[in-house]
Amino acid sequence: MKSRDRSANVYRKPTMSDVARLAEVGVMTVSRVLNGTAKVTDATRARVERAIEQLNYSPNELARVFRGQRSHSIGLILPYLYDTFFATCAHAVITVAREHGYSVILTTSNEDPETEVAEARSMLQRCVEGVVVIPTYARSSRLARTSFGRTPVVAFDRPSSDASIDTVLVQNTAGARRMVEHLIEHGHKRIAFMGISRSLFTINARFLGYRRALQDAGLDENSFFGCDSDTSTREALDAMMRNGNPPTAILTSSTLATRYVLGSIAHLGLHVPADLALAGFDDFELAEFTAPPLTVVRQPVQEMGRVATNLLFDRIARGETPQSGSRIVLPVEIVLRRSCGCKHRTPVVMQ
Protein backbone atom coordinates (compact mmCIF):
# COMPACT_ATOMS: atom_id res chain seq x y z
CA MET A 1 0.00 0.00 0.00
CA LYS A 2 1.58 3.23 -1.14
CA SER A 3 1.50 6.48 0.72
CA ARG A 4 -1.19 7.52 -1.71
CA ASP A 5 -3.68 6.00 0.63
CA ARG A 6 -3.88 9.00 2.85
CA SER A 7 -7.18 7.99 4.36
CA ALA A 8 -5.13 5.58 6.41
CA ASN A 9 -4.12 8.49 8.60
CA VAL A 10 -6.26 8.76 11.64
CA TYR A 11 -6.21 12.49 11.46
CA ARG A 12 -4.80 14.85 8.93
CA LYS A 13 -5.33 18.46 8.15
CA PRO A 14 -7.41 18.92 5.02
CA THR A 15 -5.42 20.09 2.03
CA MET A 16 -6.30 22.00 -1.05
CA SER A 17 -6.78 18.85 -3.05
CA ASP A 18 -9.21 17.53 -0.46
CA VAL A 19 -11.24 20.64 -1.05
CA ALA A 20 -10.87 20.28 -4.81
CA ARG A 21 -12.06 16.68 -4.71
CA LEU A 22 -15.08 17.49 -2.58
CA ALA A 23 -16.00 20.46 -4.73
CA GLU A 24 -15.31 18.43 -7.85
CA VAL A 25 -12.97 21.02 -9.31
CA GLY A 26 -9.24 21.26 -9.94
CA VAL A 27 -6.89 22.39 -7.22
CA MET A 28 -6.11 25.51 -9.17
CA THR A 29 -9.69 26.62 -8.96
CA VAL A 30 -9.53 26.35 -5.21
CA SER A 31 -6.33 28.34 -5.19
CA ARG A 32 -7.93 31.00 -7.33
CA VAL A 33 -10.95 31.26 -5.10
CA LEU A 34 -8.65 31.59 -2.12
CA ASN A 35 -6.41 34.25 -3.59
CA GLY A 36 -8.70 35.93 -6.08
CA THR A 37 -5.95 35.50 -8.62
CA ALA A 38 -8.29 35.01 -11.55
CA LYS A 39 -11.94 34.97 -12.38
CA VAL A 40 -14.08 32.07 -11.29
CA THR A 41 -17.78 31.64 -11.97
CA ASP A 42 -20.01 32.35 -9.04
CA ALA A 43 -21.35 28.84 -9.20
CA THR A 44 -17.98 27.11 -8.87
CA ARG A 45 -16.83 29.65 -6.33
CA ALA A 46 -19.84 28.80 -4.21
CA ARG A 47 -19.10 25.08 -4.52
CA VAL A 48 -15.52 25.63 -3.46
CA GLU A 49 -16.47 27.83 -0.57
CA ARG A 50 -18.93 25.29 0.66
CA ALA A 51 -16.30 22.57 0.52
CA ILE A 52 -13.87 24.77 2.42
CA GLU A 53 -16.51 25.32 5.02
CA GLN A 54 -17.34 21.64 5.32
CA LEU A 55 -13.77 20.55 5.67
CA ASN A 56 -12.90 23.47 7.90
CA TYR A 57 -10.00 23.94 5.56
CA SER A 58 -7.43 26.64 6.01
CA PRO A 59 -4.41 27.03 3.77
CA ASN A 60 -1.04 25.87 4.96
CA GLU A 61 0.91 29.05 5.31
CA LEU A 62 4.18 27.20 5.42
CA ALA A 63 3.61 25.58 2.07
CA ARG A 64 2.84 28.97 0.67
CA VAL A 65 6.04 30.48 1.99
CA PHE A 66 7.90 27.45 0.92
CA ARG A 67 6.56 27.86 -2.55
CA GLY A 68 8.49 31.11 -2.65
CA GLN A 69 6.06 33.62 -1.27
CA ARG A 70 6.73 36.04 1.52
CA SER A 71 6.64 34.54 4.98
CA HIS A 72 4.83 37.53 6.45
CA SER A 73 6.83 37.20 9.61
CA ILE A 74 9.63 39.17 11.20
CA GLY A 75 11.93 38.30 14.05
CA LEU A 76 12.41 40.24 17.26
CA ILE A 77 15.34 39.66 19.57
CA LEU A 78 15.40 41.31 22.97
CA PRO A 79 17.72 40.89 25.92
CA TYR A 80 14.88 40.07 28.31
CA LEU A 81 11.19 40.40 28.59
CA TYR A 82 10.64 40.83 32.30
CA ASP A 83 12.05 44.32 32.07
CA THR A 84 9.20 46.75 31.45
CA PHE A 85 11.31 48.76 29.07
CA PHE A 86 11.93 45.82 26.77
CA ALA A 87 8.38 44.61 27.07
CA THR A 88 7.13 47.98 25.96
CA CYS A 89 9.48 47.85 23.01
CA ALA A 90 8.10 44.45 22.12
CA HIS A 91 4.59 45.75 22.31
CA ALA A 92 5.37 48.52 19.87
CA VAL A 93 7.05 46.14 17.44
CA ILE A 94 4.22 43.64 17.56
CA THR A 95 1.65 46.35 17.05
CA VAL A 96 3.37 47.74 13.97
CA ALA A 97 3.89 44.24 12.63
CA ARG A 98 0.22 43.50 12.94
CA GLU A 99 -0.61 46.72 11.13
CA HIS A 100 1.39 45.32 8.25
CA GLY A 101 -0.24 41.92 8.54
CA TYR A 102 2.91 40.30 9.84
CA SER A 103 3.58 37.84 12.64
CA VAL A 104 6.43 38.22 15.09
CA ILE A 105 8.76 35.49 16.22
CA LEU A 106 10.10 36.70 19.53
CA THR A 107 13.08 35.45 21.45
CA THR A 108 15.36 36.71 24.16
CA SER A 109 19.12 36.76 24.07
CA ASN A 110 19.58 37.05 27.82
CA GLU A 111 22.36 39.48 26.94
CA ASP A 112 24.37 36.54 25.69
CA PRO A 113 26.03 37.09 22.29
CA GLU A 114 26.07 33.37 21.55
CA THR A 115 22.38 33.02 22.17
CA GLU A 116 21.83 36.11 20.10
CA VAL A 117 23.48 34.77 16.98
CA ALA A 118 21.91 31.37 17.48
CA GLU A 119 18.46 32.91 17.68
CA ALA A 120 19.10 35.13 14.68
CA ARG A 121 20.19 32.10 12.75
CA SER A 122 17.14 30.16 13.77
CA MET A 123 14.95 33.01 12.59
CA LEU A 124 16.64 33.18 9.24
CA GLN A 125 16.15 29.45 8.88
CA ARG A 126 12.50 30.11 9.45
CA CYS A 127 12.51 32.58 6.61
CA VAL A 128 11.64 35.74 8.48
CA GLU A 129 11.60 38.69 6.14
CA GLY A 130 13.46 40.93 8.53
CA VAL A 131 14.78 41.18 12.07
CA VAL A 132 14.45 43.87 14.71
CA VAL A 133 16.95 43.56 17.50
CA ILE A 134 18.22 45.17 20.66
CA PRO A 135 21.81 43.94 20.47
CA THR A 136 23.62 42.54 23.47
CA TYR A 137 26.43 44.56 25.02
CA ALA A 138 27.74 46.57 22.13
CA ARG A 139 31.28 45.28 22.34
CA SER A 140 30.37 41.65 22.30
CA SER A 141 27.40 41.45 19.94
CA ARG A 142 28.46 39.35 17.01
CA LEU A 143 25.60 40.26 14.76
CA ALA A 144 26.96 41.13 11.35
CA ARG A 145 25.15 42.47 8.34
CA THR A 146 26.76 39.83 6.18
CA SER A 147 25.35 36.88 8.07
CA PHE A 148 21.84 38.07 7.25
CA GLY A 149 22.22 37.75 3.52
CA ARG A 150 19.61 40.02 1.98
CA THR A 151 17.40 39.99 5.02
CA PRO A 152 17.11 43.49 6.47
CA VAL A 153 18.01 44.09 10.10
CA VAL A 154 17.31 47.08 12.31
CA ALA A 155 18.93 47.56 15.70
CA PHE A 156 17.40 49.83 18.28
CA ASP A 157 18.01 51.14 21.78
CA ARG A 158 21.64 50.16 21.35
CA PRO A 159 23.70 50.34 18.19
CA SER A 160 25.05 47.23 16.57
CA SER A 161 28.78 46.75 16.43
CA ASP A 162 28.29 46.49 12.67
CA ALA A 163 27.90 50.03 11.40
CA SER A 164 26.13 48.94 8.26
CA ILE A 165 23.07 47.96 10.27
CA ASP A 166 20.29 50.54 10.60
CA THR A 167 19.96 51.88 14.10
CA VAL A 168 17.35 53.76 16.09
CA LEU A 169 18.42 55.33 19.35
CA VAL A 170 17.37 57.99 21.83
CA GLN A 171 19.31 60.99 23.09
CA ASN A 172 20.97 59.25 25.96
CA THR A 173 23.87 61.62 26.35
CA ALA A 174 21.96 64.85 25.85
CA GLY A 175 19.20 63.70 28.18
CA ALA A 176 21.57 62.84 31.00
CA ARG A 177 23.43 66.06 30.49
CA ARG A 178 20.33 68.18 30.76
CA MET A 179 19.23 66.31 33.84
CA VAL A 180 22.56 66.98 35.53
CA GLU A 181 22.39 70.61 34.52
CA HIS A 182 19.03 70.76 36.21
CA LEU A 183 20.48 69.31 39.39
CA ILE A 184 23.25 71.88 39.21
CA GLU A 185 20.63 74.61 38.91
CA HIS A 186 19.22 73.33 42.17
CA GLY A 187 22.59 74.23 43.65
CA HIS A 188 24.13 70.77 43.81
CA LYS A 189 27.89 70.60 43.49
CA ARG A 190 28.52 66.98 44.35
CA ILE A 191 26.47 64.82 42.05
CA ALA A 192 26.98 61.09 41.82
CA PHE A 193 26.14 58.76 38.94
CA MET A 194 25.02 55.22 39.66
CA GLY A 195 24.55 52.53 37.07
CA ILE A 196 24.78 48.88 36.28
CA SER A 197 27.72 48.72 33.96
CA ARG A 198 29.56 51.01 31.61
CA SER A 199 29.76 48.22 29.09
CA LEU A 200 26.09 48.76 28.35
CA PHE A 201 25.82 51.28 25.54
CA THR A 202 22.94 53.24 26.98
CA ILE A 203 24.44 53.45 30.44
CA ASN A 204 27.76 54.58 29.08
CA ALA A 205 26.15 57.17 26.82
CA ARG A 206 24.25 58.55 29.78
CA PHE A 207 27.42 58.59 31.81
CA LEU A 208 29.15 60.62 29.14
CA GLY A 209 26.34 63.18 29.28
CA TYR A 210 26.70 63.32 33.04
CA ARG A 211 30.45 63.79 32.76
CA ARG A 212 30.06 66.48 30.18
CA ALA A 213 27.68 68.50 32.29
CA LEU A 214 30.01 68.28 35.26
CA GLN A 215 33.02 69.28 33.21
CA ASP A 216 31.18 72.28 31.84
CA ALA A 217 30.37 73.34 35.36
CA GLY A 218 33.86 72.59 36.66
CA LEU A 219 32.57 69.93 39.04
CA ASP A 220 34.08 66.59 40.01
CA GLU A 221 32.76 63.21 38.97
CA ASN A 222 31.68 60.52 41.37
CA SER A 223 30.38 57.42 39.72
CA PHE A 224 29.64 53.85 40.68
CA PHE A 225 29.01 51.03 38.24
CA GLY A 226 27.80 47.87 39.82
CA CYS A 227 24.19 48.47 40.80
CA ASP A 228 23.26 44.93 39.95
CA SER A 229 21.78 43.90 43.27
CA ASP A 230 20.26 45.33 46.40
CA THR A 231 23.33 44.66 48.48
CA SER A 232 26.00 45.92 46.10
CA THR A 233 24.04 49.11 45.62
CA ARG A 234 23.48 49.58 49.30
CA GLU A 235 27.12 49.07 50.10
CA ALA A 236 28.20 51.49 47.41
CA LEU A 237 25.78 54.16 48.55
CA ASP A 238 26.74 53.61 52.15
CA ALA A 239 30.41 54.07 51.28
CA MET A 240 29.64 57.21 49.31
CA MET A 241 27.71 58.76 52.15
CA ARG A 242 30.27 57.90 54.81
CA ASN A 243 32.90 59.58 52.72
CA GLY A 244 34.06 62.95 53.99
CA ASN A 245 32.50 64.65 51.04
CA PRO A 246 29.26 62.82 50.27
CA PRO A 247 27.13 63.63 47.21
CA THR A 248 24.05 65.80 47.63
CA ALA A 249 22.41 64.45 44.50
CA ILE A 250 22.38 61.25 42.49
CA LEU A 251 21.55 60.44 38.90
CA THR A 252 20.59 56.82 38.40
CA SER A 253 21.06 55.54 34.91
CA SER A 254 18.18 53.10 34.47
CA THR A 255 14.99 51.98 36.13
CA LEU A 256 16.75 49.03 37.63
CA ALA A 257 19.46 51.19 39.18
CA THR A 258 16.78 53.58 40.38
CA ARG A 259 15.01 50.78 42.14
CA TYR A 260 18.11 49.56 43.90
CA VAL A 261 19.10 53.09 44.91
CA LEU A 262 15.59 53.79 46.16
CA GLY A 263 15.81 50.69 48.29
CA SER A 264 19.24 51.61 49.60
CA ILE A 265 18.14 55.12 50.45
CA ALA A 266 15.22 53.75 52.42
CA HIS A 267 17.48 51.27 54.14
CA LEU A 268 19.95 53.97 55.14
CA GLY A 269 17.12 56.14 56.40
CA LEU A 270 17.98 59.01 54.07
CA HIS A 271 15.44 61.63 53.08
CA VAL A 272 14.82 62.62 49.46
CA PRO A 273 15.40 65.33 48.41
CA ALA A 274 16.45 66.89 51.74
CA ASP A 275 19.43 64.63 52.43
CA LEU A 276 19.92 63.56 48.88
CA ALA A 277 18.29 64.68 45.66
CA LEU A 278 17.53 62.00 43.11
CA ALA A 279 16.89 61.86 39.40
CA GLY A 280 16.55 58.81 37.21
CA PHE A 281 16.88 57.89 33.58
CA ASP A 282 13.81 56.22 32.07
CA ASP A 283 10.34 56.97 33.29
CA PHE A 284 8.07 54.27 34.71
CA GLU A 285 4.43 54.04 35.62
CA LEU A 286 4.83 54.30 39.35
CA ALA A 287 7.40 57.08 39.29
CA GLU A 288 4.68 59.37 40.45
CA PHE A 289 3.98 57.32 43.51
CA THR A 290 7.40 56.79 44.93
CA ALA A 291 8.24 58.84 47.99
CA PRO A 292 8.79 61.48 46.78
CA PRO A 293 7.65 61.39 43.17
CA LEU A 294 10.64 60.84 40.96
CA THR A 295 12.18 63.26 38.51
CA VAL A 296 13.35 61.43 35.42
CA VAL A 297 14.54 61.61 31.86
CA ARG A 298 11.75 60.07 29.82
CA GLN A 299 12.62 58.24 26.65
CA PRO A 300 10.07 57.64 23.90
CA VAL A 301 10.02 53.89 24.25
CA GLN A 302 7.02 53.02 22.10
CA GLU A 303 8.08 55.53 19.53
CA MET A 304 11.50 53.96 19.28
CA GLY A 305 10.02 50.51 18.70
CA ARG A 306 7.60 51.85 16.16
CA VAL A 307 10.21 53.80 14.24
CA ALA A 308 12.56 50.82 14.16
CA THR A 309 9.87 48.47 12.92
CA ASN A 310 8.60 50.88 10.33
CA LEU A 311 12.13 51.32 9.09
CA LEU A 312 12.40 47.57 8.79
CA PHE A 313 9.20 47.33 6.78
CA ASP A 314 10.49 50.10 4.61
CA ARG A 315 13.60 48.08 3.88
CA ILE A 316 11.52 44.97 3.26
CA ALA A 317 9.23 46.79 0.88
CA ARG A 318 12.06 48.26 -1.12
CA GLY A 319 14.07 45.07 -1.00
CA GLU A 320 17.14 47.10 -0.35
CA THR A 321 20.08 46.42 1.91
CA PRO A 322 21.85 49.69 2.49
CA GLN A 323 25.60 49.82 2.36
CA SER A 324 25.78 52.12 5.33
CA GLY A 325 23.02 51.90 7.87
CA SER A 326 21.09 55.00 8.78
CA ARG A 327 21.06 56.24 12.33
CA ILE A 328 17.97 57.79 13.80
CA VAL A 329 18.11 59.51 17.17
CA LEU A 330 14.88 60.29 18.99
CA PRO A 331 14.55 63.17 21.46
CA VAL A 332 13.93 62.63 25.16
CA GLU A 333 11.98 64.67 27.70
CA ILE A 334 12.72 65.76 31.23
CA VAL A 335 9.92 65.06 33.67
CA LEU A 336 10.25 67.21 36.75
CA ARG A 337 8.57 65.85 39.84
CA ARG A 338 9.83 66.23 43.39
CA SER A 339 12.84 64.03 44.02
CA CYS A 340 15.19 66.56 42.42
CA GLY A 341 14.09 69.29 44.77
CA CYS A 342 11.41 70.84 42.58
CA LYS A 343 8.12 71.61 44.28
CA HIS A 344 5.78 70.85 41.43
CA ARG A 345 2.54 69.30 42.61
CA THR A 346 2.06 67.64 39.27
CA PRO A 347 4.81 66.59 36.89
CA VAL A 348 6.25 69.21 34.57
CA VAL A 349 7.44 67.90 31.23
CA MET A 350 10.17 69.82 29.46
CA GLN A 351 10.59 69.86 25.70
Partner DNA sequence: CTGTTAGCGCGTTCAC
Partner DNA sequence: GTGAACGCGCTAACAG
Contacts with DNA by CB under 7 A lie at 2-4, 6, 12-13, 15-17, 24-29, 31-32, 34-35, 37-41, 43-45, 59-60, 63-64, 66-69
Q: Which does 40 bind (CB under 5 to 8 A by kind): DNA, a second copy, none?
A: DNA
**Shortest distance (Å) from residue 130 CB to DNA:** 19
**Shortest distance (Å) from residue 165 CB to a second copy:** 18
Q: Tell me the sheet residues that pair with 154.
A: 132, 166
Please say whether the beta carbons of 264 and 298 come within 8 A: no
Determine the Cα–Cα distance for residues 100 and 74; give it in Å rounded to an integer.
11
Count Cβ atoms within 10 A of the Cβ of residue 264 and give its class: 0-12 exposed, 13-18 middle, 19 or more buried: buried
**Residues in binding contact with a second copy, number by CB under 8 A:** 53
Q: Which is nearer to DNA, 24 or 221 (CB)?
A: 24
2 binds a second copy (CB under 8 A): no
Q: Which is nearer to a second copy, 73 or 202 (CB)?
A: 73
Q: Which does 34 bind (CB under 5 to 8 A by kind): a second copy, DNA, none?
A: DNA
Contacting a second copy within 287-326 (CB under 8 A) = 288-292
**Shortest distance (Å) from residue 82 CB to a second copy:** 4
Count CB atoms within 10 A of the CB of residue 333: 17
Count CB atoms within 10 A of the CB of residue 334: 20
Q: Which of 5, 7, 36, 149 binds a second copy (CB under 8 A)?
A: 149
66 binds a second copy (CB under 8 A): yes
**Shortest distance (Å) from residue 270 CB to a second copy:** 13
Q: Which helix (H) or strand (E) holds 280?
A: strand 277-281
Q: Which does 106 bind (CB under 5 to 8 A by kind): a second copy, DNA, none?
A: a second copy
b/e map of 62-80 (b: 16 or more CB within 10 Å)?
A: eeebeeeeebbbbbbbbbe
Task: Establish how many alpha carbons lie within 13 A of residue 62's alpha carbon, considering only the half-sphere containing its beta carbon.
Answer: 3
Determine the Cα–Cα distance for residues 288 and 303; give it in Å rounded to an integer.
22
**Shortest distance (Å) from residue 170 CB to a second copy:** 18
